[in-house]
Amino acid sequence: MNPETNDDEIQVLGKTGETVVYVFPSGGAEALRGDLPSEPDTPENLLMKRLVEAELITASQRDTALRDQQITGMQLSEVLVARGWITEEKLQAFL
């Protein structure tokens, strides 16, 4: 793992096409193929869509945040801030 990363974080090892490889703090890994299941139009999911459209996050970051949410139970906005992809200030200003 990259020495600059936090050992408690789930790392995305790589993404090629529709395959994403996740590395977990325990040392385990998981490869997922295909698109994530369609998410309902909740306020949080609509926010994610708008953030991608505004180019504040990438589609890959959105997909990873959705997977992180499934694993951790965190809110999507919390995942984005925790991963450093957007600041709390930018997120609040966007709302």
**Amino acid at the residue 47:** L
pLDDT at 1: 43
Domain containing 42 equals 11-94
- Whether the per-residue pLDDT at 3 is higher than 50: the answer is no
The structure's pTM equals 0.57
9-13, 22-26, 30-34, 69-73: the lowest-pLDDT one: 9-13
In this structure, is residue 6 part of a structural domain? no
In this structure, is residue 5 part of a structural domain? no
In this structure, is residue 2 part of a structural domain? no
- Count of domains observed in the chain: 1
In this structure, is residue 65 part of a structural domain? yes
| DSSP sequence for 18-74 | TEEEEE-TTS-EEEEESPPPPPP--HHHHHHHHHHHTTSS-HHHHHHHHHHHHHH--
- Compute how many other C-beta atoms are within 10 angstroms of the C-beta atom of residue 33: 8
In this structure, is residue 72 part of a structural domain? yes
In this structure, is residue 45 part of a structural domain? yes
**Mean pLDDT, to the nearest integer, of 46-74?**
90
Residue among 51, 52, 50, 44 at smallest CA distance from 74:
44
Per DSSP, the three-state class of 94 is helix
In this structure, is residue 3 part of a structural domain? no
Q: How confident is the model at residue 55 (pLDDT cuts 50, 70, 90)?
A: very high
- Whether the per-residue pLDDT at 87 is higher than 90: the answer is yes
pLDDT at 7: 55
| DSSP sequence for 76-93 | HHHHHHHTTSS-HHHHHH
